[in-house]
Each structure stands twice: as structure tokens, then as C-alpha cells.
Structure 1
């Protein structure tokens, strides 16, 4: 059954300052035909449009000086869903809490198998990827994410984007011994292989870890350069800039299907509730909802519902947190948080209270409701975990849900859609899109404008969309759930 974003999504903190482009149509009617249609106007769609414009300007082609050249078609208003994870792809943008956290040692692993520990669903332990894919593939994955911090910093400065962007340190805290050992072992494997990002990581254990992190009961912690941002402001600023340079943005325009035509020049017909648009090339920046328009991605990009909150201290003496955090509480439970300049904290996760109940989150697109078992999880969170917050009076100001797009093998699908010439995909970021999407969008732009293959652009080989990946067996999210929850719900699958 086709899956579309639900109406009346829970309202996230990031939408407390709505942008005019929440509801925007550059032209009253859809253009009859264009060169390029981007389906999805969230972080992925906006990044792709921005890079298309930048690249065309650099090449002197000036492809987009007229609105009939490129159309951005969101499925709903720019702010629906928790982070906004709908066919406008706000999914990866707003729910994850604005955490621009490269993965210097986990996702370099890449491969998750049933033989590994349940943690790998969360960590993607580096030793596995290093073992299966080799050093070069591991280097590509880790360095690609690491470069996003600099890339976003340069973007914000170049375009004068006001989005509260901060370069900081990520503090990755282990609250149980097994994961500390596993992470440290993985870091040592990458260091031995001379993976560049591993040199960036500082490790501490014992009392030193608790002192550095400020987290009660820390068994170990890893710190490295990261950033955080107001994601909604970043994406909407990008959209306003591309529209001012000639891109046609059409909100509230659900795409029902994309069909091939007999026209060699305009080979695709994008069918919407408001009519059709013929295009030479189509880009799917649709994340969790990709399989609605590309059935071949069914079970390859799966909607996953998550929950997030904003916590506010009521007393001035609450310690100010300068770093962003990951707290690893058990093999399948972790939380992430970023501090805000106003002293509030954005915290997401809460898997402890709902992960075993598969129906609460897996293949669930209903972000109009909270995840009931977890809705009170964040109450008293800072007091429980952080030293000095016991008398802060911190309370949960807001809780929301949103839909992420988890890929079957833990890596996004970026590049040509197999078997569909002139069609491209940029989706499946598994709740980790902030340090993956922007430069993936740049790779897509280069492929589209220069007719290059994924192998010819700056893109990790493990990201490349391929028929082999679509045909591959296994689904890491379910594998991890089975390892943790057992076989009690197998009949439902």
C-alpha cells in the first residue's frame, strides 16, 4: 500500500518560528514541462537544488535563469511531520535534533551481520566494514561525514544563513562496559588501518570519563569535532535562496506517480493532484516515502518513527553544556542531545520504552501521535543523567514524533535509480542525514548536469544505489530488533 505523510503531524520545537516558504507556490499553475523535477524539498531536495544552481553558475551554463527549468515538488507543507519527514523530506532535518555529528569510527564499519552484537544496529562497528569492504571504503565513509562540518560552516558563512550553527565537540558516552570495550576496539582497528577520522577522536575512561562528560556513571567517552544547527532554518533559508534564483517551488502538491513517456526529450511524466509535469530528469529526495513512488525500494528504505523533546531548566544555576552528546544506555538504547544557546536542551531517543514493541516504530508513518510508551521518558532526564542538574528544575517543554527513512544495509541510496535512465535517488539516511545529505546532494547535482555515473563523483562507494543492493537479502533494522527482542513477534513479519 502506498504511504504518504499523515496530516496534522505533531509540532516540533524547530517550527516555533515558521517561515513564509512553509506554504509557497512560485507559480499559480504547474509548468507543463521542465528540465528537472526534484520530488522532495527538505534537506536533501534543497541541497540538490542549491548545488545544481552553484554548479551551473560555475560552468557558465546558467541553466536555471527561468522557472521552467527546475521544479521542487514537496508532498505537503514544508513543516509537516516531526522533523518534517515527508515527501518534502523534512524527515532528516527536524527530528534528529539538529545534530551534525560525523561518525568517525562507527559507520566506517558499514556492514552489519547477524553474527555481530546487537549494538551494531546503533553503532555500525567499524571492524565489520573494514573486514568486508576494505580500508578505502572505510576511509570514504568516515571522511565524507567528517567533511560535512566544514562544508556546512562554509555554506552558512557564504550565504549568510541564520540558523544557529555552532562548531563544537560531540561527546559519545558509554554507560555500560560492553559497549565501551566494543567501541574502543573498533577505534583501535581504524587507528591501525590509518583511517584519517580516527586520529580526531579523544578517548577517556573511568573517573576521567565522568569528569569530562559530566554524565553520571560514565564508563568511557569519546569526543570529536561536530556541530549543531537549527535544521528548519537551514533548509528553509536554502529554499528561499534557490527560489530567488529561478527555481519553481510548489508546496501542497502530492506526487501520485512518475511514468515514462515516449518523448526522448521529456522522458518522465510526474503526476500530481494538480496536474502533470513532463521532465527530462527526475530526482527522488523522498527518504522514508521513497517506495511509494519507487516500489523497488520497498523493504530497502523503511519508515521508522522516532521521538524527540525539548527540555528547559527553570533555575539559572543549571550547568551550561557546550558539547553535543550521545548517551549509550544499553545494546539497543541510546539518546542524543544538543544544547541550545537559551539554555534549553533538545533530546531524542527513548528507545528503552518502546523498541521491543515493533509496531510502535517500524514501518510506522503516523507522526500525528506521540509514541505512547515513551511520551514521559524525558521527564527528569537531565536530573537523572547529568551532574549539577539535580536542582535545575528542568522540565519537558515539548515532545514530538517524526518519520525517518532507514535503509536495509545501513547506508543511504544515492545515484542513478537502477533501470530508470534519467532518474536519480537521494534517500535512506537512517536518522543520520545531517552529516551525509549536503555533499550527497552535490554528488547528485554533478551526475545530473554532467551525465556522470556515481563512480565518477565524490561519493562513498557504499552509498551508490545499485541493483545489487536492491537485490541483496537482509534488513539490518529487523536483524537488530530480532537479536534484542527475540522471536515473540515473528508472526507479524
Structure 2
């Protein structure tokens, strides 16, 4: 059966520029060959984090006893122009925020498996970046969580105590403080509670560009930018993949296009919905002084508006979120793939943000230097979809990261590559069971009857589906 798109899920032609893409070079629009190759063993749709991670592990982790596979990566726009190149650069594992929900849904073992998988990304990426000598401003640091709402702070304390009660080893890395000392410890003026744990910060675009350049230079992949896929049809034991620049025959197809996956796989349209978010860069004018920041943040103000923040080595701040403000205006963000238009109801939230939030910034004159939006893929049950596409032999998916792909994608790509390279089932990949894409998960999303996910990352839920 064909897979013509039910919805037009091709990325917008004119996305707003993001800070991360300000030093793009000619590789941004790279085409390894002037024309598409006629055929490839494995075709990857998407040259962002998911597609790049999977391509790297397909090539580098291949079984030497098997014939080398040809790998082609197709990108609708320039490299890393989707969510990866528009995010907050925050490599932050979720140690406890959503874990109680996962414990209730799937049990302690499955929930801990997911938490430890995310935690493992921090040392794994640090080691990889150092090994490959990648210049991407990576910093290993602490992330500070802040709750400035009294009710939310008490709930956070309860969550912390509950997880400590399970004697989880990874909780030894979490420091938590509730009460009058929270502002002094966190630096956030109105903090009622604060926590900290190990995390990382990086320049995502530079990371992806380096990895893709390495794969192209070694002849391991054929990269084709500005080549949107419009349809896929089976032909014998392979597929004819149609693009805006012609067709290519593929033995296997990996859907690594996150928010746009429902276009070519309509059965995922209810499971992974495109949702827009907002992010910006804040700078301090020359001659002004602001306190040096060395940690990243998840900050929730008194109104429970959540922001994620990283300090940059150049002294600027990258911060995004504010979904609580635009949640009621569904048309601005929900099932919306236009990253060329800002979210109107939140675009001024970060004006004066540093001054009103952090001690010592009051006279800094910090201002928003650049603001942009991006399209994320939010899943119905809050879990990503990794693995073989049900009832579509030869199709694989790695998508639906809920705006939280940084500590999920690298090792998920490694696991998916293992499925293909070694012909092993999902259960032998090392990817948490909750992330396995299944027919049951797809059908639950289509029915809309089961508990849905935390679509905005602020602890609230929103009914997904069309």
C-alpha cells in the first residue's frame, strides 16, 4: 500500500532564523552527488539529531561480518533546520519530574529504566564529543530546578521524598532544598524550592554539522538537502521513495522526521502531533555587568509558567518555554508546522525575564537579542516512538520526542541501528521498553480513550488527536 500524506507535513519554506544557525557554511545545503543515487540499502528521512544519530551508528556499529550497507540521508531543508537546530541546547535528563507518572502507568522497573537511559546520555555524549573532538561548546554542569509557586514546591518535595523512598541509586545525584534557603541556593529571587543534578549544555547545530560532515567525508553516507519526500510505495522487497527531485529505490526506510512523521505514516498522525514552541537569546549590552551563570535551569514562576535556560560561554542566555501562556490559543501552536511565524501570545514574555527572575540582574539591561519558534513532535502518551513500524515491513521510526529529545535520541539511534545492522528485536537494543512503537500504542492514540501525555512539558495535560 502507498503512504501518500493525509496532511501536508512538509516543513515550511521560510523558517525564522534561530541563533544556533548564525554561522552556517556551505555544508548547510550539501548534496554529496548532484543527483539522487538510483538506489540505497537504507534511506533516512531527516538530517536532524535523530537521523544523524541513527546514520552514525548504522555506519560505525555495523557488523564487520556482513556486507557494508549504503546509507542515504534526505533532508527537506538545510541540515539541522528543524527542531534540533531551534531548541534550547539543554542536555537535561528527567530524573524525577515525570517518573511518578510512569511508575503508576508501567511500574517502577520500567520507569527507572527510562530515567537511567536519559541519565546515560550525559556521559555518553561527553565521551563522544571529546573522542571526535567536536567543537560544539559542550559543558558538563548542573541543572537547577526552581519552583516559585508554593503549591508546586510542596508537590516537588513530595515527589522527591517518594523517589528517595524507592532507594533509587540515581537519586544520589539529586540535591533538593525546600524553604527559605531556596533563593540563595538557586539564584532565583522567588524560589520556594530548588533541586540540582548533573546535566549538559551544547550548541546543537555545530554538533550535528560535525557528525554529518564526518560521515560524508569518509564516504559512509550520501547526504541530500532540500529534498523533501512526498510519497513512498512498495516495489517487490524494496520501496520507491518519491521526492521533489526525483525517486530513489530503498531497501529500508527510517522515518526520523519527528513532528512531520504523520505525513508519510498516516497511522502516526494521532500519536505524534506537531506543536510549536518558542525560544530566544538574551544579551547584556556592552558596559553593563550581570552575574556569571555556570548552571542551566528549569524555572517555574509563581504562575507555573515553565522556562528552560542555558548560559552561553559568550555571556548570553538562551531561554525558551512559556507554553502556559499560549496553551489556550490552540491555533497558534497545536498541529501547526509553520516555524516562520512567532507565537504571538508569548513573544514578549522574555522581555525583562532575567531582571525579574534572578538576583543581581536587576540593573543589567538584559534584552532579547533574537527570538524564534520551532516545531516539535509531541506524542499521545509522552513517550517517543522507536523501532519497526507495525504492519509495514522495512519501515522504521525514531520520532515523537516531546521537546525532550536531547537526552533520548543519541542512544535511541544506536539501538535502532542495532535492530537493522544485527537483525535483532527491539528488546535487545538497550532502548527502554516504554519507547517501543507498537500497534497498541497507535490504536490507543487513535481512539483517544486512554490517558494522554504532558503535551506542554509544564505538568499539565492536553487532549491529543484530531
| Alignment correspondent of 2:79 | 78
Q: Per-residue deviation at 1:13?
A: 0.5
Q: Per-residue deviation at 1:330?
A: 5.6
In the TM superposition, what are the counterparts of 1:262-277 in structure 2 within 5 Å? 262=236, 264=237, 267-277=238-248
Residues 62 and 232 of structure 1: CA distance in aligned 2, closer, same or farther (over 3 Å): farther
Q: Distance in 2 between matches of 1:234 and 1:19?
A: 14
**Which structure 1 residue ranges, 4+ long, deviate > 6 Å from structure 2?**
478-481, 483-487
Q: Distance in 2 between matches of 1:479 and 1:337?
A: 19
| Alignment correspondent of 1:52 | 58
Choose which of 399, 424, 433 in structure 1 pairs with 2:405.
433
| Alignment correspondent of 2:180 | 207
Structure 1 residue runs of 5 or longer lacking an equivalent are: 86-90, 109-125
| Alignment correspondent of 1:278 | 249
Are the counterparts in 2 of residues 203 and 222 from structure 1 also a CA contact under 8 Å? yes
| Alignment correspondent of 1:123 | none
Deviations along 1:215-272, one digit per CA (max 9) or x if unpaired, are 011000110000000000001111101111221000011100111112x3xx222111
State yes or no: 1:224 paired with 2:229: no
Residues 169 and 447 of structure 1: CA distance in aligned 2, closer, same or farther (over 3 Å): same
State yes or no: 1:63 paired with 2:68: yes
Q: Distance in 1 between matches of 2:377 and 2:324?
A: 20
Are the counterparts in 1 of residues 305 and 325 from structure 2 also a CA contact under 8 Å? no
| Alignment correspondent of 2:48 | 42
Q: Distance in 2 between matches of 1:274 and 1:332?
A: 47
Q: Distance in 2 between matches of 1:60 and 1:163?
A: 34
Deviations along 1:396-444, one digit per CA (max 9) or x if unpaired, are 1001011010011001000010011121100000000000000000001
Q: Distance in 2 between matches of 1:352 and 1:302?
A: 18
Choose which of 253, 273, 282 in structure 2 pairs with 1:302.
273
| Partner-residue secondary structure (3-state), 2:123 | helix
| Alignment correspondent of 2:3 | none
State yes or no: 1:33 paired with 2:39: yes
| Partner-residue secondary structure (3-state), 1:364 | coil
Q: Per-residue deviation at 1:209?
A: 1.1
Deviations along 1:327-369, one digit per CA (max 9) or x if unpaired, are 1126762001100011100010122432211111111111111
Deviations along 1:123-154, one digit per CA (max 9) or x if unpaired, are xxx2x321331121011110000000001101
Are the counterparts in 2 of residues 107 and 142 from structure 1 also a CA contact under 8 Å? no
Residues 330 and 137 of structure 1: CA distance in aligned 2, closer, same or farther (over 3 Å): farther
Choose which of 333, 338, 361 in structure 1 pairs with 2:333.
361
| Alignment correspondent of 1:102 | 93
| Alignment correspondent of 2:215 | 242
Choose which of 350, 360, 364 in structure 2 pairs with 1:392.
364
Are the counterparts in 2 of residues 37 and 71 from structure 1 also a CA contact under 8 Å? yes
| Partner-residue secondary structure (3-state), 1:432 | coil
| Alignment correspondent of 1:115 | none
Q: Distance in 2 between matches of 1:391 and 1:485?
A: 37
Are the counterparts in 2 of residues 415 and 464 from structure 1 also a CA contact under 8 Å? yes
| Partner-residue secondary structure (3-state), 1:187 | helix
Equivalenced residue count is 453
In the TM superposition, what are the counterparts of 1:150-189 in structure 2 within 5 Å? 150-189=123-162
TM-score after normalising by structure 2: 0.93
TM-score after normalising by structure 1: 0.88
Choose which of 226, 231, 244 in structure 2 pairs with 1:252.
226
| Alignment correspondent of 1:457 | 429
Q: Distance in 2 between matches of 1:361 and 1:370?
A: 9
Deviations along 1:294-338, one digit per CA (max 9) or x if unpaired, are 000011101010111100012443101100001112676200110
Q: Per-residue deviation at 1:213?
A: 0.8
Are the counterparts in 2 of residues 19 and 236 from structure 1 also a CA contact under 8 Å? no
| Partner-residue secondary structure (3-state), 2:345 | helix
How large is the RMSD of aligned CA atoms in angstroms? Answer: 2.1
Are the counterparts in 2 of residues 302 and 406 from structure 1 also a CA contact under 8 Å? yes
Q: Distance in 1 between matches of 2:97 and 2:367?
A: 32
Q: Distance in 1 between matches of 2:247 and 2:374?
A: 29
Higher alpha-carbon deviation: 150-159 or 187-196: 187-196
| Partner-residue secondary structure (3-state), 2:162 | helix
State yes or no: 1:192 paired with 2:198: no
Residues 486 and 391 of structure 1: CA distance in aligned 2, closer, same or farther (over 3 Å): same
Residues 353 and 135 of structure 1: CA distance in aligned 2, closer, same or farther (over 3 Å): closer
| Alignment correspondent of 1:376 | 348
Q: Distance in 1 between matches of 2:234 and 2:115?
A: 37
Are the counterparts in 2 of residues 332 and 351 from structure 1 also a CA contact under 8 Å? no
